[in-house]
Amino acid sequence: MTTPVLADLAVGQEIGSRSIDVDRARLVRYAGASGDFNPIHWNERFATEVGLPGVIAHGMLTMGLAVTVVSEWAGDPGRVVDYQTRFARPVVVPDPGTATVEVTGVVGAIDAEAGTVRIDLTVVFEGARVLAKAQAVVRL
Amino acid sequence: MAINASYAGRQYAPTDPYQVGRAKVRELAAATAATQPVHHDLVAARAAGYPDLVASPTFAVIIAQAAEAQLIEDPDAGIDFSRVVHADERFTHTRPIVAGDEITTVLHVDSITERAGLAMVTTRCELFGDATLTDHVATVRSTLAVRGEDA
């Protein structure tokens, strides 16, 4: 594993990006792995009955997928010491088909004294941000 | 039934320990496209200095959501789960979670606020690696938005 060097980083620098396809099978897989069986994430009838546009991805799935950009850049996922987001919009997952989520990570702040860098993630679905204030702090 | 704002400030007794298993670490990592070897391969995890497989950065949600069920599934709290939307989430780690950890969690209800037919319930789970609550592993903060009957 290679570790980025704090002194070589600059605010605004892009650290990586990734395009992730989410289909219904991935939602079911995440439900089983996480234990979150809320039917809005797998049952179209239920989702529309409670006023959603359709089956939506777990916010925590989107959050988990997005941070892979940070972990892979950091080299060691154990260096991600803080990770937060607000869930701004749902990712509606069609059937058949996929929802494509675009993730980009940029250096948002550097704390040389603490030895940490804040990565700001932009997570976009259908042209709009689905995660707001998605920030990960990495200890280098 | 309306949300019970008197639950704000409540602190629950420590949970029974959650045993972090290798299979669950691998399963959640795979479900979130976390392919790094330290999540999947014991030799790689040990070569990186860890005692066992390293949980992916959002793994603590599994433990936290199980603890949060103490509140959400309590009928007296008045939270209608079919009207719940996840508003925000934050993980702050003192150390990474690794397979073999036995995590004891203390659930706190930090705030319950209501405005315009929307109730915001903010919880905080303190995760510890021991039953005496000295080995702090992580803090998980979560806010649920609960739509009122008319919203």
Q: What is the pLDDT of residue B151?
A: 47
B7 domain-assigned: no
> For residue A10, what are its two tokens?
């600059």
**In this model, does residue A55 exceed pLDDT 70?**
yes
In angstroms, the CA A139 to CA A125 distance is: 29
* H runs (alpha helix) in B86-139: none
Condensed to tens digits (0 to 9), the pLDDT of residues B85-134 reads 899 999 999 999 999 999 999 999 999 999 888 999 999 999 999 999 99
> Which of A34, A65, A87 is nearest residue B33 as measured by Cβ atoms?
A65
Residues 27-86 of A with CB under 8 A from B: 29-30, 32-36, 38, 50, 58-61, 63-65, 67-68, 70-72, 76-78, 80-86
Q: Does B40 touch chain A (CB under 8 A)?
A: no
Residues in chain A: 140
Single out the residue of A79, A66, A68 nearest to residue A134, CA to CA: A66
* CATH code where residue B99 lies: 3.10.129.10
Domain total in chain A: 1
- Residue A122, domain extent: 6-21+57-139
A35 domain-assigned: no
A89 domain-assigned: yes
Single out the residue of B88, B106, B90, B24 nearest to residue B58, CA to CA: B90
Find tokens 């993980």 and name the residue: B91
B136 domain-assigned: yes
Closest chain A CA to residue B37? A76
Burial of B121 (0-12, 13-18, 19+ CB in 10 A): buried
Q: What is the pLDDT of residue B1?
A: 60
Domain total in chain B: 1
Instruction: Tell me which chain B residues have a C-beta less than 8 angstroms from the C-beta of A84.
Output: 88-91, 141
ipTM above 0.90?
A: yes
The pLDDT-based confidence of B150 (bands split at 50, 70, 90) is low
The pLDDT-based confidence of A92 (bands split at 50, 70, 90) is very high
How close does chain A come to B67, measured CA to CA in Å?
A: 12
Burial of A80 (0-12, 13-18, 19+ CB in 10 A): buried
